[in-house]
Amino acid sequence: MSHIENDPKYKGLAVNNGVVQPPSVNPYLQTQMRKKRKKYTVSEFVDGILKGNRVILSQAVTLLESAQPDHQAKAQEIIEKCLPFAGKSVRVGITGVPGAGKSTFIEALGMFLAKQNHQLAVLAIDPSSERSKGSILGDKTRMEELSRQPNAFIRPSPSAGSLGGVARKTRETIVLCEAAGFDIIFVETMGVGQSEIVVHSMVDFFLLLQVAGTGDELQGIKRGIMEMVDGIAINKADGDNVDRVNVTKAQLVSALHMFPLPDSGWSPLVMTCSAKFHVNIEQVWEMVINYIDFVRQNGYFKKNRIQQANYWMYETINEQLKSHFYNDPTVARYVKEFEQKIFSNEICSFAAASQLLDLYFNHSLPINDD
Ligand code: GDP
């Protein structure tokens, strides 16, 4: 059929008929792959995870990341059954700006731990909009050596949804990984927005990977992070950089002194390392282990995990209430209208919120609705 714009009344260039594009994925392979992916029952999933089967673990994580309600329900059942076997790992949060050397550091430390026969899972939390800017965890080029280790499991950040949603999925992934026998879990974030807070709320040790900088740059470190860290490792302490790293170390040590002793009773340490040249990597890990011993002895380890579990209960409630509210058909119908009214100064934000909430709770129609 000739294109509508080829009608003589249009004076432009002629438009050719389109050509059928070959499929971008080999259809034969696609069917093969579909055939291969077996649908497991909940108990097959749980059995596989408890046996440490990586393929099944991976598929269970995919299930819990899915937005489909039936997948979600199945994933919840799996998580519940895995919970009694979870909790036995050391969970370490790692934050640092892009380029600080997080993946190089995780690879170096991860290889060291893998050689000691630890089972290491590397997870990530980053808001999806930020992840396309270069460093995607799990990217082929990142942690290449570590990703080939049979006792390492690397999983990129869940891509969809709000930070709360992404964080919940990562937290559930931790449960599955622990049930599968992983004894060390790294959760990486590049510290965009509030992501440090959520990572901090799911780990035992929170590490800031820092690079040497001028005093001004150091002042730019979010104040909140300094209050959260259990340790700082200043990376790239190699070559000409060593002097600057030492100056930065002194500055960070004195900056940390300005904060009161954290609830853990542990004074955060500042160390230097070179991830690229494998210098002091083991010492950084020693710091983590010393911390864990310290808080296990003073009872903070357990207390912190209980506090975190409570935090996640409230977070989940908040998140679900919020999504229930915004997905309510009546609310969804009127919310834009209220936005307009705020825009044109017909109503103030508080009255709008109160009327929308009233709509949600009492299904009363908004005032002036006709
Ligand atoms: P990320 O974005 O925080 O994950 O940082 P990367 O691990 O991708 O590292 C960013 C760049 O810094 C890369 O070019 C690394 O090779 C380099 N790098 C990482 N660690 C070191 C280090 O210890 N010393 C030096 N000189 N370069 C490093």
What's residue 167's pLDDT? 86
Beta carbon of 274 within 6 Å of any ligand 1 atom: yes
Beta carbon of 95 within 6 Å of any ligand 1 atom: no
* 87-298 placed in CATH 2.40.37.10: no
Best residue for ligand 1 mutational test, from 111, 192, 276 (most atoms within 8 Å of Cβ): 276
Beta carbon of 96 within 6 Å of any ligand 1 atom: yes
C-beta of residue 232 within 8 angstroms of C-beta of residue 252: yes
What's residue 138's pLDDT? 44
CB crowding 242-265: b at 16 or more within 10 Å, else e:
eebbeebbebbeebbeeeeeeebe
Higher pLDDT pick, 125 / 284: 284
Non-local CB neighbours of 108 within 8 Å, separated by 6+ positions: 275, 276, 278, 281
209 is written with which tokens? Answer: 């990977």
Q: Please check whether the two domains, 35-85 and 87-298, share a CATH topology.
A: no
Beta carbon of 235 within 6 Å of any ligand 1 atom: yes
Beta carbon of 138 within 6 Å of any ligand 1 atom: no
pLDDT tens profile 170-204: 999 999 999 999 999 999 998 777 888 889 999 99
**What average pLDDT does the segment 96-121 reach?**
94
Helix, strand, coil proportions of the chain in percent (round to 5)?
55, 10, 35
The one-letter amino acid at 354? S
Atom 17, ligand 1: residue with shortest CA distance = 101
CA of 355 to the centre of ligand 1 (A): 52
**Most confidently modeled range among 78-92, 125-139, 213-227:** 78-92
pLDDT band at 31 (very low <50, low <70, confident <90, very high): low
Residue 139 scores a pLDDT above 50: no
Residue 32 scores a pLDDT above 50: yes
C-beta of residue 301 within 8 angstroms of C-beta of residue 289: no
Q: What is the DSSP string of 152-197?
A: EEE-PPP-SS-HHHHHHHHHHHHHHHHHTT--EEEEEE---TTHHH
pLDDT band at 137 (very low <50, low <70, confident <90, very high): very low
Interatomic CA distance for residues 146 and 130, integer angstroms: 24
What's residue 118's pLDDT? 97
Beta carbon of 275 within 6 Å of any ligand 1 atom: yes
CATH architecture of structural domain 35-85:
Up-down Bundle (1.20)
- The maximal CA–CA distance of the chain, rounded, in angstroms, is 86
**How many C-beta atoms surround the C-beta of residue 93 within 10 A?**
26
- Residue 18 class from Cβ within 10 Å (0-12 exposed, 13-18 middle, 19+ buried)? exposed
CA of 101 to the centre of ligand 1 (A): 4
Atom 15, ligand 1: residue with shortest CA distance = 101
Beta carbon of 104 within 6 Å of any ligand 1 atom: yes
C-beta of residue 132 within 8 angstroms of C-beta of residue 247: no
Beta carbon of 98 within 6 Å of any ligand 1 atom: yes
Q: Which residues pair with 90 in a beta bridge?
A: 184
pLDDT tens profile 154-167: 998 877 667 777 88
pLDDT tens profile 115-131: 999 999 999 887 655 44
Beta carbon of 276 within 6 Å of any ligand 1 atom: yes
Give the start-to-end residue ranges of the domains of the chain. 35-85, 87-298
Q: What percent of the chain has pLDDT over 70?
A: 82
**What average pLDDT does the segment 259-273 reach?**
94
